[in-house]
Structure 1
């Protein structure tokens, strides 16, 4: 009976814990000077979005757990709390090095006395938690061993709000909403062991029907019982909430605890866990996918944004010259000045910034009090508060320019540079003098390239350095391959293993080619239903750890090669019959706009590859494109974006002629 009284009390006070520290180094050197949860996202501190999300969920009491830069976090929380109906407390522990340490500290302080919501301080979401809370409480009433409910969001593997280098594989029981197995997925695996999933086969004895899912985004929003912090205390090996705690609970025969899930689809939820995700979530906010958490909602006290056509958000005190150009998807903060002939596109400009004449800013994030003088170009980078770009500076993509860095005139900052105005070891209270590097900041500049600590070992990054690189802003896969080759050449002790991995990858690709071809051939020959064929192909995809692009580039040619242009009307092999019968199978492999455009490139190449004669290729390409459009597999905007892209104009002569066949009308 006492447990029931405790559960009833939870309905009166809903508590939440925010982990304000990320316990990783992905935003360094910027986070050497401020907490990651305070970084501006569309000119609003990250943690403000988390507070708003919890307020909508009905949370009444919040504990903000902070480690690094705790003074700044406490000051912000104190200021925010003045206008909030929620009780917000800060817990400071400088010794914590991981999520596990924070949970153990939380248990030691005994501040949580009910089921609570656990989130990170960089979560942006517009979902309501009514249903998941109701489900969790009902489940706890019936079964005290159910200690956690994870919120998962359905999304394609290429979805923008999915972290490139981080993924999750879930084994789920839909009937009981129980998570049976969890495994983190990395974009690159260092060893063959990392490429395999090991699961207890006894799971199938207790759960005859399970789903293996990699189409879910882990929202990092959990409903936890009071037992969760205590379990961290009992198991000091638990450091990460997913890789250690969830995996440990699910594989333990002794604890007897269960973890469940709640799946959402028509809401927004993402965590800004890397600079790549910072870019993605910023674009989603500007595009209003996060509504009502959009700039013109003015979440921050004192903001006064106006929403204009073209997804432009501007505060009233902004000063724009007559000849400046503000293109689509732009946010401009208060008291910022934009000079003549400046061009802004797909960017966020902070408050009190000065943008000079003839400046071009594209896909960049300029924070408060930044000065960018005449004739500068900034591409797909982040520039922090107080930075100065003198005249004729070019900042190439992927750069992080930290607080108060000055780039001297006529300087080109190399792509992916990370610059800081801190002296060596200054964050460790050293008195070392800052020695600027002219190669990066110019002769008159102030700053140096930031070098990560050699002993850095983030739990997120694992062994392969490429997993860290793909999570960075504006990452370039082609450059990544070159870096990998250089590493393999310089590290002879790993050459044998790298060779084995490469050979295995080639063999895996050939095996996937063969198995998909056999599956399609069997489906065509035996007349399988599309649902059955799609199920078999998705099983192959998950077994080979392939993405939907790899499936499309094999399935689209595999379907088209069954077309016989000499077949008589009514035959099963005519263009129309094959598309009507098997086109839906292609549609199962296309989910978002990026998939649609990629599918059109593959269709273009496949038609040209199957028919050297452009006239014959056109007889397949034009009807196939019409079918894609009519059946909503491909939208009009995607077709236009494909047509206008440089990639569609390249390739063989036949490919180029196919593009011209579908030239849009002048009107």
Structure 2
């Protein structure tokens, strides 16, 4: 297969690209239109043949769009792809396509030629479509078509293109998402690291492969990690990177991606951070939910608040704290008055990408530090756009830089309890109760078959852990469930297994053996703070339904801790949360009492560790 690249510097939209393709006359047959920032693993061949067959029978067939199921609370849904879609359930023909506009009334004309219409709010556009040969010509005929949304809307409304039809294909068990903003970039990155995008994972796909380690950590060649460096979970590190350079203090990294040729000092902490190539991070820096461009330098003792975006080659520090949601650029934004002599030249430079960076001048020391180099970046929002509700929603999502993995942002130490899920939010995780109940029933049956629970509580596994993981992945895809649903279902199914055990000793033996066996699977799903909250809620709910097993709850919780499924700080936070009779299960006080001894042990161990670190620092 040969690939020909066509450059079109003046193309500023999808419409411009398709008009250029039509002008060059390079499209003679059906073709696949895909955005360059799409990550997907689905097969096109079968759907392509279906599209061609449909086109042979009906020359009015223009496109077959790929759609991915994503419930309203899915982290990939933002203001850019919050769609309401109407589909003919018999033919899969697209009938309505509305972005960020609720369906308040239905067009009766849609029912004149069909028995039913499926209005769906659980789909997102994969920005991948199989197009018929006439599509580029239609874009040439109408220069108002800038984005694909404009084209689709006009086709469905029949304003200028009559008798044309668009069809859909909803993916089943495959992955597709577009990294069109930082929200989606973060979500897709986490899906890749947690291997939902197989075979597109760091150790299989890419110009330089990573080596897969435990707890979803990936490391390329020639990486040096100091003995005091701790990669907690879900971390990818690029080649020639050095972490914990002097090894004087512990450096911790979790849920982060580190590029190539980076240097990270000792005593620093990175949580949900994206660090591109050639960055230097000094000692005792704190980064959480942050994006660093290439060549960024953070001097010692720099703390960056959540949601910050730092542009290429910015220098910050030393000894500064950057407020949340701050954007810093190395280039200064210069406002020019209309009518200036350089307007035409500046516009041309900007369009061609050759605009020069403003020469370094006086920097705001309070913002970037005494040795810092960079300027505060302010988004330029047109007043007319600011009045548009959908634009405000999109801008809000972008400004907040939702590197939150759809989890609650951890609040300040004065209000830690506010980040705990409430009952209403927990219920929203399982929006499709029928699918979840069927999944739970299948999960209980699967564990009953595979664990081989004996009367004394020991287990005799039937098959390998990875085989069970594959079956669970298949069940999840079949029922279109989120990872949170899987955490809930597995937790409740494990508790359900003790139903036939006669005493606490047998239950405790089972919990210990089952968690040890299933920990690799559970660890894939329990990674974020929200995942911990979901599992702890599910534990409460499961024991509420099987109260005779409460005496063995401490053994189960301790096993989850020992196997690194539940983190110490999350268990302590759950235990410290005040019980609310209106939302908590009635047996929560019993559960807290049952694990009191274990909690004391955790707190004692934590205080001893803090004391050891203090002694080490003083030395």
Who is 2:98 aligned against?
183
Aligned ranges 1:460-609 → 2 under 5 Å: 463-471=390-398, 472-474=400-402, 591-594=481-484
Task: Give, in angstroms, the shift of residue 378 of structure 1.
Answer: 0.9
TM-score by length of 2: 0.65
The CA deviation string for residues 141-167 of structure 1, in whole angstroms up to 9 with x for no partner, is: 111001100011223222333336531
1:304–1:356 distance in 2 versus 1, CA, 3 Å: same
Who is 1:365 aligned against?
274
Query: Do the aligned partners of 1:421 and 1:448 also contact (CA within 8 Å) in 2?
Result: yes
The answer as to 2:357 corresponding to 1:449 is no
Query: Do the aligned partners of 1:348 and 1:364 also contact (CA within 8 Å) in 2?
Result: yes
Give distance in 2, aligned partners of 1:132 and 1:547. Answer: 37
Who is 1:398 aligned against?
307
Who is 2:232 aligned against?
327
Query: Do the aligned partners of 1:379 and 1:397 also contact (CA within 8 Å) in 2?
Result: yes
Task: Give, in angstroms, the shift of residue 399 of structure 1.
Answer: 1.0
Who is 2:158 aligned against?
252
The answer as to 2:211 corresponding to 1:306 is yes
Task: Give, in angstroms, the shift of residue 217 of structure 1.
Answer: 2.1
Task: Give, in angstroms, the shift of residue 424 of structure 1.
Answer: 2.5
Who is 1:139 aligned against?
54
Give distance in 1, aligned partners of 2:99 and 2:356. Answer: 38
Give distance in 2, aligned partners of 1:458 and 1:97. Answer: 19
Give distance in 1, aligned partners of 2:258 and 2:274. Answer: 6
Who is 1:348 aligned against?
257
1:298–1:555 distance in 2 versus 1, CA, 3 Å: closer
1:456–1:226 distance in 2 versus 1, CA, 3 Å: farther
Task: Give, in angstroms, the shift of residue 228 of structure 1.
Answer: 1.1
The answer as to 2:194 corresponding to 1:278 is no
Who is 1:126 aligned against?
41
Aligned to 1:102, the other structure's residue is in SS state: helix
Identify which of 199, 222, 233 aligns with 1:317.
Answer: 222
Give distance in 2, aligned partners of 1:102 and 1:462. Answer: 29
Aligned to 1:365, the other structure's residue is in SS state: strand
Query: Do the aligned partners of 1:337 and 1:355 also contact (CA within 8 Å) in 2?
Result: yes
Identify which of 590, 601, 604 aligns with 1:661.
Answer: 590
Give distance in 2, aligned partners of 1:149 and 1:251. Answer: 17
Give distance in 1, aligned partners of 2:83 and 2:243. Answer: 43
The CA deviation string for residues 456-498 of structure 1, in whole angstroms up to 9 with x for no partner, is: 9889x86552332224423689999xxxxxxxxxxxxxxxxxx
Give distance in 2, aligned partners of 1:449 and 1:625. Answer: 54
Structure 2 unaligned runs (5+)? 335-345, 410-423, 435-478, 491-539, 550-555, 600-619
Aligned ranges 1:423-442 → 2 under 5 Å: 423-425=332-334, 428=350, 429=355, 432-434=358-360, 435-442=362-369
1:88–1:647 distance in 2 versus 1, CA, 3 Å: farther
Give distance in 1, aligned partners of 2:572 and 2:82. Answer: 29
Q: Structure 1 residues 424-433 or 199-208, which shifts more? A: 424-433
Give distance in 1, aligned partners of 2:44 and 2:243. Answer: 42
Task: Give, in angstroms, the shift of residue 102 of structure 1.
Answer: 2.2
Give distance in 2, aligned partners of 1:269 and 1:554. Answer: 21
Aligned to 2:99, the other structure's residue is in SS state: strand
Who is 2:243 aligned against?
338
The answer as to 2:6 corresponding to 1:86 is no
Query: Do the aligned partners of 1:317 and 1:335 also contact (CA within 8 Å) in 2?
Result: yes
Task: Give, in angstroms, the shift of residue 374 of structure 1.
Answer: 0.6
Give distance in 1, aligned partners of 2:65 and 2:589. Answer: 50
Who is 1:65 aligned against?
none
Who is 1:169 aligned against?
84
The answer as to 2:27 corresponding to 1:112 is yes
Query: Do the aligned partners of 1:177 and 1:262 also contact (CA within 8 Å) in 2?
Result: yes
Aligned to 1:327, the other structure's residue is in SS state: strand
Give distance in 2, aligned partners of 1:200 and 1:122. Answer: 35
Aligned to 1:310, the other structure's residue is in SS state: helix
1:659–1:644 distance in 2 versus 1, CA, 3 Å: farther
TM-score by length of 1: 0.61
Query: Do the aligned partners of 2:231 and 2:253 also contact (CA within 8 Å) in 1?
Result: yes
Aligned ranges 1:230-245 → 2 under 5 Å: 230-242=137-149, 244-245=150-151
Give distance in 2, aligned partners of 1:547 and 1:358. Answer: 36
Structure 1 unaligned runs (5+)? 1-84, 186-193, 481-545, 557-588, 601-619, 630-634
Task: Give, in angstroms, the shift of residue 443 of structure 1.
Answer: 2.2
Task: Give, in angstroms, the shift of residue 233 of structure 1.
Answer: 1.9
Give distance in 2, aligned partners of 1:139 and 1:554. Answer: 33
1:318–1:599 distance in 2 versus 1, CA, 3 Å: closer
The CA deviation string for residues 311-359 of structure 1, in whole angstroms up to 9 with x for no partner, is: 1111120011112111111111111001122111111111110100111
Give distance in 2, aligned partners of 1:91 and 1:272. Answer: 22
Give distance in 1, aligned partners of 2:196 and 2:542. Answer: 34
Query: Do the aligned partners of 1:649 and 1:659 also contact (CA within 8 Å) in 2?
Result: no
Aligned to 1:469, the other structure's residue is in SS state: helix
Task: Give, in angstroms, the shift of residue 119 of structure 1.
Answer: 0.7
1:596–1:228 distance in 2 versus 1, CA, 3 Å: same
Give distance in 2, aligned partners of 1:150 and 1:358. Answer: 49
Give distance in 2, aligned partners of 1:175 and 1:391. Answer: 62
The CA deviation string for residues 570-605 of structure 1, in whole angstroms up to 9 with x for no partner, is: xxxxxxxxxxxxxxxxxxx994344688999xxxxx
Task: Give, in angstroms, the shift of residue 176 of structure 1.
Answer: 1.0
Who is 2:175 aligned against?
268
The answer as to 2:419 corresponding to 1:419 is no
Aligned to 1:206, the other structure's residue is in SS state: coil
Aligned to 1:159, the other structure's residue is in SS state: coil
Task: Give, in angstroms, the shift of residue 367 of structure 1.
Answer: 0.7
Aligned to 2:73, the other structure's residue is in SS state: coil
1:297–1:405 distance in 2 versus 1, CA, 3 Å: same
Who is 1:586 aligned against?
none
Give distance in 2, aligned partners of 1:479 and 1:548. Answer: 12
Aligned to 1:380, the other structure's residue is in SS state: strand
Give distance in 2, aligned partners of 1:154 and 1:357. Answer: 43
Aligned to 2:218, the other structure's residue is in SS state: strand
Task: Give, in angstroms, the shift of residue 130 of structure 1.
Answer: 1.4
Aligned ranges 1:214-233 → 2 under 5 Å: 214-233=121-140
Query: Do the aligned partners of 1:171 and 1:210 also contact (CA within 8 Å) in 2?
Result: yes
1:292–1:621 distance in 2 versus 1, CA, 3 Å: closer
Query: Do the aligned partners of 2:193 and 2:201 also contact (CA within 8 Å) in 1?
Result: yes
RMSD: 3.9
The CA deviation string for residues 533-568 of structure 1, in whole angstroms up to 9 with x for no partner, is: xxxxxxxxxxxxx99956979999xxxxxxxxxxxx
